[in-house]
Amino acid sequence: MAQKSRKPSLTHRVNSFPAAWSWFVDELIPTYVKRTYSPRESWKDKPFTTEDARFFFKGISELSELFTEERPTKLPEYFAHPKFRSAYLLYFLPLQAAKFLSVFQLHPEATQAALKHAAKTGTLHLADLGAGPGTASIAFLLWLLDQPLPDGRKELPTIELHWFDTNRAIMDDGAALIQALSDQFPKLRGKVQGHMHGEPWWKATPRLPRETSLIFFGNVLNEAALPQQASWSAILERAQGAGTLYIEPALKRSSQLLSQLRDELLEAGAIENSARSIWGPCLHAERCPLAAGRDWCHFSVPVEIPGRWFTSFSKGLGSERQWVKFSYLWLSSPEARAPVPSPRLRRVVSDPIQKDRNADVVLICEPERPGRIRVPSSRHVHRGDLITED
């Protein structure tokens, strides 16, 4: 295939976190974890210290090994163990929330679509399927605290959270954090109501509002074997406003499953065969070029996640986080379509695969199979960047 020359366009860079982030991850989460999960009563009402960090780091290290080592398709029920619930809250909740916040920053028009839908209906319904501690919902509420409201509105509508997970204990932890977050900030105070359902996400459809402003799936494809009875189309019919956002780890299996799901939904007519059906990352609605084979669609976003304890745990794991890595798919709804992308735009879907003195060769997303293009080495193009034709 011929290697065309392109030049990079301006690309979103994720470099900010909500103002409430540091309070949430450095004060609220550690205080809650110590009060709830410390083995000694005498510890529970004291400030979180480096001694506590050392104690809880054991669970973080073990859970990290479980997530990263070679493992069977289905993960064990780690939320059943208090050691792993506390570890997840302290470290993996901020890490996963940072991924959702990164995508919110990449697609601010989509988050506004959720708010506009809620302004029309009077309630912001957020569904979190495979919720865990409600990580996606928490990230969205933190995001809302810094966002202007549409149409000059003065205050948020009522916010109703609809969570589905087979482990009630971790949802109870998330609900407690949501309550504390809402009590802390007047913008949210008295606005947030939770509906927790202790059942698998694929049973959610009858319990979801017919007009849900935004549906989240976080790590669902990675952590569970997909049941045959899962009705993706029925769930999508509930998604109005900003549609449906899927975020998965930047692993080959889960990323390609996500690409395959996208193609199946398009082929079945569950979503319209149009680029306007997808907020991102796709710029077309033809078959994904990376749904099978050696390469897969995932992104590395340069960002330093704030937080004293998060940084300490990252160093303990030997992995100071300067990037968040994930794959994602954000489908729009019939009510709020994504903008039509310029036909000159292309998405970079690899790091440089070939270098010479003057240019780098990278893969770009084209229907059916990826294209190859040359860009000047001085431009420092990264996976996920948008480029335009000369």
pLDDT tier at 115, thresholds 50, 70, 90: very high
Which of 57-66, 266-275, 290-299, 372-381 is predicted with the least confidence, judged by mean pLDDT? 372-381
Instruction: Please give the mean pLDDT across all residues of the chain.
Output: 90
SS (H, E, C) the chain: CCCEEEEECCCCCCCCCCCCHHHHHHHHHHHHHHHHHCCCHHHCCCCCCHHHHHHHHHHHHHHHHHHHCCCCCCCCCHHHCHHHHHHHHHHHHHHHHHHHHHHHHHCHHHHHHHHHHHHHHCEEEEEEECCCCCHHHHHHHHHHHCCCCHHHCCCCCEEEEEEECCCHHHHHHHHHHHHHHHHHCCCCCCCEEEEEECCCHHHCHHHCCCCECEEEEECHHHHCCCCCCCCHHHHHHHECCCCEEEEECCCHHHHHHHHHHHHHHHHCCCCCCCHHHEEECCCCCCCCCCCCCCCCCCEEEECCCCCHHHHHHHHHCCCCCCEEEEEEEEECCCCCCCCCCCCCEEEECCCCCEECCCEEEEEECCCCCCEEEEEEHHHCCCCCCEEEEC
For residue 54, the SS3 value is helix
Mean pLDDT of 186-199: 96
Which of 9-13, 48-52, 342-346 is predicted with the least confidence, judged by mean pLDDT? 9-13
Whole-number percent of the chain with pLDDT over 90: 72
* Angular region, 289: left φ>0, alpha ψ -120 to 50, beta rest: alpha
Amino acid at 210: R
The Cα–Cα gap between 101 and 104 comes to: 5
Which of 150-154, 346-350, 369-373 is predicted with the least confidence, judged by mean pLDDT? 150-154
Q: What is the pTM of this model?
A: 0.93
Following DSSP, what letter does each residue of 65-109 receive, concatenated? HHHHS---SSPP-GGGSHHHHHHIIIIIHHHHHHHHHHHHHH-HH
Between residues 296 and 73, which one has the greater pLDDT? 296
Sorted by sequence, the CB contacts under 8 Å of residue 173 that are 6+ apart come out as 32, 36, 85, 89, 133
pLDDT at 15: 62
Residue 292 is classified by DSSP as S
The answer, yes or no, to whether residue 75 has pLDDT greater than 70, is no
Sheet holding 386-389, edge to edge: 345-347, 386-389, 4-8, 371-376, 359-364, 354-355
Mean pLDDT of 101-106: 95
CATH of domain 16-342: 3.40.50.150
Mean pLDDT of 68-93: 83
The answer, yes or no, to whether residue 12 has pLDDT greater than 50, is no
For residue 248, the SS3 value is strand
Mean pLDDT of 144-149: 90
pLDDT tens for each residue of 249-260: 999 999 999 999
Mean pLDDT of 138-165: 92
Mean pLDDT of 344-357: 87
Distance of CA 260 to CAs 237, 252, 286, 343, Å?
A: 19, 12, 12, 24
Per-residue burial over 82-117, b = 16 or more CB atoms within 10 Å of its CB, e = otherwise: eebbbbbbbbbbbbbbbbbbbbbbbbeebbbbbbbb
Tell me the CA end-to-end span of the chain in Å, nearest whole number: 19
Residue ranges per structural domain of the chain: 16-342
Mean pLDDT of 369-383: 86
* Tokens 């939320």, residue located: 79
C-alpha atoms less than 13 angstroms from C-alpha of 374 in its C-beta half-sphere? 11
pLDDT at 151: 77
Between residues 377 and 119, which one has the greater pLDDT? 119
The answer, yes or no, to whether residue 352 has pLDDT greater than 50, is yes
- Which residues face 125 on adjacent strands? 160
Mean pLDDT of 78-98: 96
pLDDT tier at 8, thresholds 50, 70, 90: very low
pLDDT tier at 382, thresholds 50, 70, 90: confident
